[in-house]
Amino acid sequence: MNRIVNKFAQLKGAGQKGFIVYIGAGDPNLEATRDLAIAFDQAGVDILELGVPFSDPLADGLVNQLAAQRGLEPGTTPPEVLATVAAIRKNSEIPVILYIYFNLIHRVGLERFIKAAAKAGVDGLLVLDLPPEESDNYEALMKKNGLCHIYLVAPTTPEDRIEFIVKRGSGFIYYISREGVTGMQQQVAANLAQQVAKIRAHTNLPVAVGFGISTPKQAKLVAHDADAVVVGSAVVNQIAERGKSKDLVRHASAFVKSLANAIKSI
C-alpha cells in the first residue's frame, strides 16, 4: 500500500490528526535534507513534503523562495533530490511528497520522471501548476506507478470546481487556508471549519490544511477541523536561521516536535 494512504489509515484508526512538514530540498544542502527528514520522522512528523528547487516558484512566499534559491546555489537538481529520497529510505519509511513545478517534470519527461520518483521511494507528487483538466495522462501514470497525485483547493474555489478537483485527487486533498502565497501568518483563517466541511461534502479523502500555520497554538486550532496540518514556512525559517551550523538538525527538530505535540494532543 502507498505510504501516504497507509499513514492516513493508521492515523484514522488511532483517532489522531496528521502532521505534514514542508522543507526545501537542498537547503542548505542535500545531506542536511536527508538528516532533517530522518530526524523529523523521529520527532513525530507523519508526512514530509520536499520542495524541488525551481527558479520561478510562483506559489511561494519570500521564505520559501529564498529556500529554493539556497537549494539552487549548489546546483541541486531533480535527479539529486530523488537520490536523496533513496538515501532517506535506507533509514526511514516516512511518506515523502515532492512539491514541484511541472516544467521540471516536463524537462525530464513525464513517464520517465514518475517512474524514477517511484523507484527512489517517493509516495506522491503535488504539482503546483498542473490543473486537473490537463492531467489525464499524468494521473494514469501516477496510478500505474503507485503514487498519489495531490491537488490543491483554495478559499476562492467555487463549490462545483471543488467537487471536480476532489474526485480527481488521491492520497489527500490539500486545502490552502489563505489566498495568496505561502508564508507565516498571525492568525488562523476564521472560516476554516466551514471550508473544510464544504470539501468533505464531496470526498472521503483526508483534508490537510496549510499556508500560514506557524506556531503550536495555531497548529492545534487547525487540527480541530482538519485531518492533517501542514507547516512549511515556519520550519523553513528555522533552517534559514541556522544555516549550516552543527545544531541545525537538533534545533529544527525541537521546533517540529513542539508542533507535533500540539497536533497530537487533540
Q: At what angle do helices 30-43 and 248-264 cross, to 10 degrees?
A: 30
Supply 171's cell numbers.
Answer: 492520497
List the one residue out of 177, 166, 254 whose CA is nearest residue 221: 177
State the Cα–Cα distance between residues 56 and 68, nearest whole angstrom.
Answer: 9
Catalytic residue among 27, 49, 123, 225: 49
159 a catalytic residue: no
| Strand order across the 96-100 sheet | 148-149, 124-127, 96-100, 47-51, 18-24, 228-231, 207-210, 173-176, 151-153
List the one residue out of 34, 62, 39, 63 whose CA is nearest residue 50: 34
Catalytic residue among 27, 41, 46, 60: 60
49 a catalytic residue: yes
> Which residues have a catalytic role annotated?
49, 60
